[in-house]
Chains A and B, each alone.
Chain A
Amino acid sequence: MSILEIKNLRASVEEKEILKGISLTVKAGEVHAIMGPNGSGKSTLAQVLAGREEYKVTGGKVLYRGKDLLELGPEERAREGVFMAFQYPVEIPGVSNTYFLKAALNAIRKHRGEKEVDAVEFLKLVREKMKLVKMDETLLRRPVNEGFSGGEKKRNEIFHMAVLEPILGVLDETDSGLDIDALKIVAEGVNSLRDQNRAFVVITHYQRLLDYIIPDFVHVLVEGRIVRSGGKELALELEEKGYSWLEEEASALATA
């Protein structure tokens, strides 16, 4: 079954068109990597999938497990199993990470008709997941992302993902700013969730993440279009040649 079907998606922000017709199908069990130069629209795609209002969809369709995703509000998407790891995770002063995460988990469980977890069950779950991402326990008690180092913020995103167990995980440059050990941990976090019922879209600039999270497909986004798709070897080719050869193709395409 397809988890995600994007058909000719167009989106703009502040009257400027950023996504210019994107089509992409992600099936259960797959990992898709999206690469591309700065400003090409990768984060925009992630935000549109997550339901950020500022990004106006001007054309196309997105089906999530066969249903119209664009009709749903961002919290409904999350409750249906869509998770986005933010490129720039947001700080929420005064709200403890555990309190926040428990509220999130319970909102999702409630939506699924499951009973809310109590403090004891929650703590048990959290301890287990924390080990997975080797996160320091003090980060649980601290306010969400406040004063976290860049790497800690990214790790916290994966930790949230591990606890919430989404069906579709969209990771926006979760590897940027991570040292090599942290990178491995993040990859482990993703791999531990990887199974026949879930799928991931991993946005990255670096092929090295893909050594740990081995993608089924790699897509290159240039100026709001997917200009090339391939297997994991495409990432290696990009690493070697850069994007300029594809950018030329893209501009040829745009003027054609």
Chain B
Amino acid sequence: MSTAMLEEYAEREYEFGFVTDIDQEMIPPGLDESVVRLISAKKEEPEWLLEWRLKAFSHWLKMEEPQWANVKYDPIDYQKIIYYAAPKSDKDRPKSLEEVDPELLRTYEKLGIPLKEQEMLAGVAVDAVFDSVSVATTFKGKLAELGIVFCSFSEAVKNHPELVKKYLGSVVPYSDNFFATLNSAVFSDGSFVYIPKGVRCPMELSTYFRINAMNTGQFERTLIVADEGATVSYLEGCTAPMRDENQLHAAVVELVAMDDASIKYSTVQNWYPGDLETGKGGIFNFVTKRGKCEGKRSKISWTQVETGSAVTWKYPSCILKGDDSVGEFYSVALTKGWQQADTGTKMVHIGKNTTSTIISKGISAGQGQNTYRGQVKILKGAHGARNFSQCDSMLIGDRCGAHTFPYIDVNNPSARMEHEATTSKIGEDQIFYCNQRGIATEDAVSMIVNGFCREVFRELPMEFAVEAQKLLEVNLEGSVG
């Protein structure tokens, strides 16, 4: 198996993007204070939230776009972006799956997505998916019985203003960084979750609610709060390929875990990566995700599988404030074509005996560039803090790259740190070994890659893990043989 052939396998075109004509209610492109006011007014927000948006906006005006990440892209013209668009009306949506791009449907099939969900994902008009919506409603009822709040961000602002006011910006302040600040000023919508004291959320949130994540636009805002002793597992995104007219995505996710609470946040993302030859048209994904282990013995665990986007800039982080709290980060990032990913995590140890684990698997193919950037910071008071980091990179072909930047900052001598890093080329000898046993090259590549990612996949909820595995397979599928 030659390198050239391997690359060919990796460089499969992304055939599944779809564009529908847009005819939406929207504010003309550009950003100034009046746009921020207009967004807030359209959403009928309370005064305090408008104030918060405005503070963020005036702060943003003084900020500069960060340049430190190992990614290159054409400058973004922030005055050319549309900052508010109402969701599509039903008449513009496909009436049934028959009107949907057959290529897209084939991908859904390959990924094993049930018919009803396919309809939702493809944006079929609501009454056609009435069944799924009513399923969702039933589940919402169950959750409500337990006192769990799970709704869109806008709904939360209307129905639970005290909770939103208390926690919004408590983990990612409006002034945090260029993209988070922009999000704070103009965020469109997103999800809100509150799990009350001692409640164990009985289901993975979002499996039945993927539709919630749709049409929330490019500036998504998610806030999850687990009160004392509460437990929740949240799934974001989906394996189905997503195309968006909006190139820039700047989401913010905030997690708060009180004493003995635990939040597991899993993401599988498959944004349109752009034209494989030129990189044109791909999504820029600049996300700020941070969790705060506020309480003692609390735990926050991030698991992500990133296969899409032209440019990814993303560092799900944990602030380990409570004593004995635990932070985890498990990540698989695949870059191919011209994709670039600069991703990693930040673990800030504040409390005593805090523990963090970082497992990062980067896969680069084609001309893909994959960077792991991680910081482990042990503050003075963090006696007995421990970190284990493992960053593995796999290269497919020889035009791609893997880069690792681990930063370690230890201010307490009792801390114990362990760091392991490996880079391997997907072995021609491994592929030949598979071939010699009758296994086709394409299957061999996905088998080897899935094996490489196993430690991360096993952290995903079962159903998601199977999808993620298929997703990698589909993404690595070649046009040969």
- Chain A interface residues (CB < 8 Å from chain B): 50-54, 73-75, 77-79, 83-84, 86, 89-95, 99-101, 103-105, 107-108, 111, 143, 160, 164
Contacts and interface: CB of A to CB of B under 8 A. Distances in A.
Contact of A50 (B434, B436, B450, B451): B436
A73 B438 CA distance: 10
Contacts of A92: 430, 433-434, 447-448, 451
B437 A164 contact: yes
A73 B452 CA distance: 26
A95 B437 contact: no
B436 A74 contact: yes
B451 A107 contact: no
B448 A79 contact: no
A92 B433 CA distance: 9
A75 B439 CA distance: 6
Contacts of B447: 92, 95, 99-100, 103
21 contacts: A51-B435, A51-B436, A52-B432, A53-B1, A54-B428, A74-B435, A75-B438, A84-B436, A86-B433, A86-B436, A89-B433, A90-B433, A92-B433, A94-B453, A95-B447, A100-B439, A100-B447, A103-B439, A104-B438, A107-B439, A107-B443
Nearest to A145: B433
A53 B5 CA distance: 12
B245 to A, nearest CB: 38
A208 to B, nearest CB: 27
Contacts of A52: 432
B450 A94 contact: yes
Nearest to B435: A74
A53 B2 contact: yes
A95 B438 contact: no
B358 to A, nearest CB: 18
Question: What are the nearest 3 A-B pairs in CB distance?
Answer: A94-B451, A95-B451, A104-B437
Given A51-B435, A92-B448, A94-B455, 7 more contacts: A54-B428, A92-B433, A92-B451, A95-B448, A100-B437, A103-B443, A107-B443
Contacts of B419: none
Contacts of B453: 94
A95 B450 contact: yes
Nearest to A47: B432
B288 interface: no
Nearest to B453: A94
Interface string B100-142: 0000000000000000000000000000000000000000000
Contact of A78 (B436, B443, B452): B436
Contacts of A74: 432, 435-436
Given A75-B438, A75-B439, A90 B429 contact: yes
